[in-house]
Amino acid sequence: AALLHLLEDPAKESLEQSYQYIDDGILLIEDGHIVALGEYRDLSTQLDDSVVTDMSGKLIVPGFIDTHIHYPQTRIIGAYGDQLLDWLNNYTFPEECRFADRQYAEEVAEEFFDQLVMNGTTTALVFGTVHKHSVDVFFTEAEKRNLRMIGGKVLMDRNAPDALLDTPETGYEDSKALIDTWHNKGRLSYAVTPRFAPTSTDDQLALAGKLLREYPDVYLHTHLSENQNEIEWVQALFPDSKNYLDVYDRHGLVKPRAVFAHGVHVCDDQCGRLAETGAAIAFCPTSNLFLGSGLFPLEHIEKQGVKVGVGTDVGAGTSFSMIETMSEAYKIMQLQGKKLNPLKSLYQITLGGAKALYLDDKIGNFTAGKEADFVVLDLQATDLLSVRMKNCQSVEEKLFVLMTLGDERVVSQTYSMGSPIYSRDS
């Protein structure tokens, strides 16, 4: 197969030095880890034919990394008419109430993971609901499929329906118990997950900070500066805070392994703080368009040294596909008079995401020693793609067309730790 190995951020390094493309390549895997990649003619001589899987005509890329998604919102994608705060009240909270039923949560978790692997996503940072068992269900399903996943229970002690509220103390205790059960179990990690500033009191955020001090390698996952009405509300609820990020910062939540979804409207002050602490923003293109939240200034934010991953943000996002998500990212950049190179797009949903999550020692590209999570792409998956590809010369051009026209149909197979976990034609 053809192999595309990403080495560096194409926006920082020269484009040519940011990747390695091998037209007739081979990936050597042992015990679920990458051993080497190279030219088929060089490496195949060392191997017995029986252990080689032929994928001629396909393109192999690293597994996709979704740095912000809500599994409980799988069944509300495409909810009509509202921007963020009304969308939460009218669609999201009623659906999340259904997760009080463990069996309902189990059904949706299974649907969610089916969608992820069908789209080539092998790692994600995932919201549960306020219910502790929503996270047990999530990790149980992730473990079954041997995926590297990060998740957490929502903390929410005000401004939501009573059925979805915890208290600072129960939120703390439940999170602690989940961390003790799941964090660093195999490929799983825990994220302390206050929903966003408006639905937590200072007391709750303080206890979230306490958890992070007690478990320094646990993640922090929340939302930040997504929508203008939301931002005004945060300012009214926390009149003493300098800005939105400061609400979290005061409680020690801005740190390495903290991921803030959206950040569409963050000022340079907040960027400076994100950059110096090593926290990341999850850019969520389809969600920002669908909820009318705004155009994320990717270049401006990255220039200030902020780590950026990409998220689908399902169910405000409209697709599980990281490929479709980058097609929308391209359009968001176009509306701001900027370009988004397709190699940069692929970098963002693989190695860039891994760096945002501090997982680039384990996943994100094909460096020897990393876990062998990868996706086998079919550049001729649809009639239109086949026709259009005839006109493509460079790998860059093919990748761009793939992202512009592609969806889950381009994912032939998804591999986790060197084993197939999804195949499109079976």
Residues at the contact surface with ligand GUN, assessed by CB under 6 A: 70, 84, 88, 92, 195-196, 223, 226, 287, 313, 316
- Residue 195 binds which entry of ligand GUN, Fe ion, none, with Cβ cut-offs from 5 to 8 Å by kind? ligand GUN
Nearer to ligand GUN (CB atom), residue 231 or residue 357: 231
- Residue 348 binds which entry of ligand GUN, Fe ion, none, with Cβ cut-offs from 5 to 8 Å by kind? none
What distances in angstroms separate CA 169 from CA 195, 204, 208, 210, 419, one per listed residue? 16, 8, 10, 12, 42
Instruction: Find the shortest distance in angstroms from Cβ 264 to ligand GUN.
Output: 11
Three-state secondary structure readout of 369-408 = CCECCEEEECCCCCHHHHHHHCCCCCHHHHHHHHHHHCCH
Nearer to Fe ion (CB atom), residue 70 or residue 133: 70
Q: Give the whole-angstrom CA distance, residue 311 versus residue 321.
A: 10
Instruction: Find the shortest distance in angstroms from Cβ 275 to ligand GUN.
Output: 23
Of 313, 328, 371, 378, the residue at the interface with Fe ion (CB under 5 A) is 313
Contact stretch for Fe ion (CB under 5 A) within 38-46, 74-82, 253-261, 365-373: 253-261
Residues near Fe ion (CB under 5 A), total: 2
- Residue 226 binds which entry of Fe ion, ligand GUN, none, with Cβ cut-offs from 5 to 8 Å by kind? ligand GUN
Nearer to ligand GUN (CB atom), residue 195 or residue 388: 195
Residue nearest ligand GUN (C-beta atom): 316
With 0-12 / 13-18 / 19 or more C-beta atoms within 10 angstroms meaning exposed / middle / buried, residue 9 is: middle
Instruction: Find the shortest distance in angstroms from Cβ 84 to Fe ion.
Output: 9
Nearer to Fe ion (CB atom), residue 109 or residue 125: 125
Nearer to ligand GUN (CB atom), residue 225 or residue 327: 225
- Residue 147 binds which entry of ligand GUN, Fe ion, none, with Cβ cut-offs from 5 to 8 Å by kind? none
Neighbours of 389 (CB within 10 A): 16
Q: Give the whole-angstrom CA distance, residue 364 versus residue 354.
A: 5
Question: Residue 187 corresponds to which amino acid?
Answer: R
Q: What are phi and psi of 416, to 5 degrees?
A: -120, 130
- Residue 221 binds which entry of Fe ion, ligand GUN, none, with Cβ cut-offs from 5 to 8 Å by kind? none
Q: What are phi and psi of 36, to 5 degrees?
A: -165, 160
Nearer to Fe ion (CB atom), residue 313 or residue 373: 313
- Residue 273 binds which entry of ligand GUN, Fe ion, none, with Cβ cut-offs from 5 to 8 Å by kind? none
Residue nearest Fe ion (C-beta atom): 313
- Residue 84 binds which entry of ligand GUN, Fe ion, none, with Cβ cut-offs from 5 to 8 Å by kind? ligand GUN
Nearer to ligand GUN (CB atom), residue 70 or residue 183: 70
Instruction: Find the shortest distance in angstroms from Cβ 100 to Fe ion.
Output: 21
- Residue 196 binds which entry of Fe ion, ligand GUN, none, with Cβ cut-offs from 5 to 8 Å by kind? ligand GUN
Instruction: Find the shortest distance in angstroms from Cβ 37 to ligand GUN.
Output: 37
Instruction: Find the shortest distance in angstroms from Cβ 22 to ligand GUN.
Output: 39
- Residue 145 binds which entry of ligand GUN, Fe ion, none, with Cβ cut-offs from 5 to 8 Å by kind? none
CB contact at 8 A, 138 and 126: yes
Instruction: Find the shortest distance in angstroms from Cβ 129 to Fe ion.
Output: 13
Instruction: Find the shortest distance in angstroms from Cβ 223 to Fe ion.
Output: 6
Instruction: Find the shortest distance in angstroms from Cβ 376 to ligand GUN.
Output: 31
Interface of this chain with Fe ion, residues 255 to 274, rule: CB under 5 A: 261
Instruction: Find the shortest distance in angstroms from Cβ 281 to Fe ion.
Output: 12
Nearer to ligand GUN (CB atom), residue 92 or residue 350: 92
Binding residues for Fe ion (CB under 5 A): 261, 313
